[in-house]
Amino acid sequence: MLKKTKKKANINLRFNILTVLIYIIGIILIARLFNLQIVHGAEYKEQSNTRLTRESTLEAARGGILDRTGTSLVTSKMEFSLEIYKSKIDSNALNEAILNIVEVLEKYGCSYSDPFPIRIEPFQFTIADETLANWKKSNKLEENISAEEAFYKFKDKYDIQNNDIKQIRKIIAIRYLISQKGYSSTRSVTISEDIPREAVAEFSENSDKFAGINIVVQPVREYTSGNLASHVLGYASRIDPEEYEKRKATYSPNDIIGKTGIEYVFEEYLKGKNGIKQIDMAVDGSITAEYIAQEAIAGSDIVLTIDANLQKITEQALATNIQKIATGGFGKRYDAKAGACVVMNVNTGEVLAMASYPDYTPADFVGGISNENWAKYRDNQAKPLVNKAIQNSYSPGSTFKMVTAIAGLESGVINLNTRINDTGIYTRYRDYQPKCWYYTDYHRGHGYLNVSGAIEKSCNYFFYETSDRMGIDNLVRFAKYFGLGSKTGIELQSETSGALASKETWAKLHPNEPWGPGIVLQAAIGQSDNEFSPLQMARYISMLANGGKKIDVSIVKTIRNANGSETSREEINQFVNQKLGLGQDESENIQINSDYLKAVLEGMQSVTSDTGGTAYVRFKDFNISVGGKTGSAEAPNNQVHAWFVGFAPFENPEIAIVVMVENGGHGNYTAEVVRDIMTEYFGMNTQNVEEDMSAMPYTEIMR
């Protein structure tokens, strides 16, 4: 009982102590409140009425795009913009501040926004008559008021006391701008962009003269190499309303966003994260303090696999070749206007250069493209905005014959000793008897050829017979293995799958036409429904050159983050596959017999090194041994697309090059592009190979 009494006494004591403490704290709080509201109330109220605090966005620098050597291709330069907020000053003080602002801008040659539609000396309206009436009405002006009368109406409206007409015009311009834009103490209006650092310094040092201004640092996209690799890099431009609605959580209405190419695919890495700057201003608009509340984090840099120097040579060689074909530089004019070229590392699948002609200027799209430039691109029949290396597909013609050769050898319908007699006309079927190109030109066949000779001579008859023996399914099986008719998975948008000639493709594209043996014959020489992109062809040639091994095609080497780390290859692949909707490679793994590959490659070497080879005239004096194949593929509207595919050095291949010119006439012509690129890649002096048409028969050159 005594213990319970003591315990109860202790509890009461603690309760009494707590009550006393609460009472004391209450007295202190009441005294503090009295001090704030009564003793110093007027003082603190005055301070709160003379101070404004607002947040300003610190724009994150957009990540750069670099070539494999670290050369900058795309970067963001930082530009200063001048904006103004509404401040608690009278009209006279605002007019004086505006005049001070304009004088500094003009001092440093800066342009500024001026939407006021009246010009002085002489007075005249600068808007069309059909919109002038509405403008007068919206500004509550008389219908017949003159430009001079309207000008002075605005002078009175803005209470401008100045009598210098030029200065009045400058003040009205900015007053009219901010009234149209609807600025406030929390919403700014941009007056001038891209102002120099000297002007920034003057504004900062004398902020009391420029009520309500704020200097904003904005990253502006800069394509440092002009048009170089434009289809790879893509472009970034201001976000459109639909995009903004989807991304408003992380974007503002004035942000730029990647639209095409690497700029689009890697937008999430390139963008960076904006920071926050806190600005304290007095009611007269002068800045009293600035500090960083949250640092901006720059976007990641995308490092490409391409080499800028090789890319430049590739683009120049392709453009020169197309122009030469179009002007009859090879003896006959063809209406060649467009083409593509891909240079690939045969062992890694890295794209070292990718050109599409004609190209475009990415800088045209920064800040929004003009109507004039857009019309120029839109109306160009050669479609300069299309990346023809990956977005278009074309019949490969004779460059497909190596697939037919491998398929025939692997399926056992021919072997390395098989010799087929080309009699000129393939007569197995009564209703379809195609001719070899040699018969068309010389009225005789090539005679007996083995597989290497058939590739060297590009003998249609040999491949007609081979495909007839093995059937379409074997041909399709090996074409799929070489990646033809399917996307490569390159890290660029809008890649085409192309089309692979097969029974399924035929039924889909020609539902009312029966399947027949002639379709197989045409498919074997790269015609029928076969259509592949130049990039797919580069992968196929690389696989021939590397011993038949599959490769993963890539144009992105790594991603370097702002903190110095690099993004893993696994993460990059996962991100790209998800963004572009790519699936896994489901093609069959096939072990190609090395002896069969050797025979096919020897045939390709003969194309460039033997006097009877279809590209001998282009490589006869070349210092590097090259394996190659010409192709002239029939296309709609009586056009003939010109192909050359090649690899080097022949003994130990490093690179594969594929070039295609739309309506280029003959594959032999395009071999010049490959020769020029190899000259750059292998560090040789420029070769002066004459177009010696007497070195071989004219019709031999054509194939």
DSSP for 487-515? ----SSTT----B--SHHHHHHH-TTS--
Assess contact for 679 and 413: CB atoms under 8 A. Answer: no
Residue with tokens 């080879």: 613
pLDDT value of residue 28: 61
pLDDT value of residue 24: 62
Mean pLDDT, consecutive 10-residue stretches, the chain (703 aa), reads: 48 56 60 52 46 71 95 91 86 92 94 92 90 91 93 94 93 91 79 90 85 82 95 93 88 87 97 80 63 83 98 98 96 95 98 98 90 94 97 98 98 97 96 93 94 96 98 97 97 98 97 95 97 98 97 98 94 96 87 97 96 92 95 91 97 98 95 96 62 38 40
Q: What is the pLDDT of residues 106-149, one digit of tens each?
A: 999 999 989 999 999 999 999 988 889 999 999 999 989 999 99
Q: Residue 435 and residue 430: Cα distance in Å, rounded?
A: 13
* DSSP code of residue 588: P
Assess contact for 392 and 231: CB atoms under 8 A. Answer: no
Q: Residue 88 and residue 100: Cα distance in Å, rounded?
A: 18
Q: With residue 292 as reference, give the H or E element that holds it.
A: strand 287-294
pLDDT value of residue 229: 97
CB atoms within 10 A of CB 127: 11
CB atoms within 10 A of CB 550: 16
The SS3 call for residue 628 is: strand
- Give 422's strand partners: 447
Q: Residue 672 and residue 693: Cα distance in Å, rounded?
A: 14
The domain ranges of the chain are 50-83+189-304, 88-184, 319-560+580-702
Tokens representing 632? 């002239």
Q: How many residues does the chain have?
A: 703
pLDDT value of residue 124: 93
Q: Which CATH superfamily is domain 319-560+580-702 in?
A: DD-peptidase/beta-lactamase superfamily (3.40.710.10)
Q: Residue 611 and residue 695: Cα distance in Å, rounded?
A: 8
Q: Cα(first)–Cα(last) distance of the chain, in Å?
A: 118
pLDDT value of residue 701: 37
Assess contact for 565 and 578: CB atoms under 8 A. Answer: no
Residue with tokens 């650092």: 197
CATH fold of 50-83+189-304: Penicillin-binding protein 2a (Domain 2) (3.90.1310)
pLDDT value of residue 691: 42
Burial of 614 (0-12, 13-18, 19+ CB in 10 A): buried
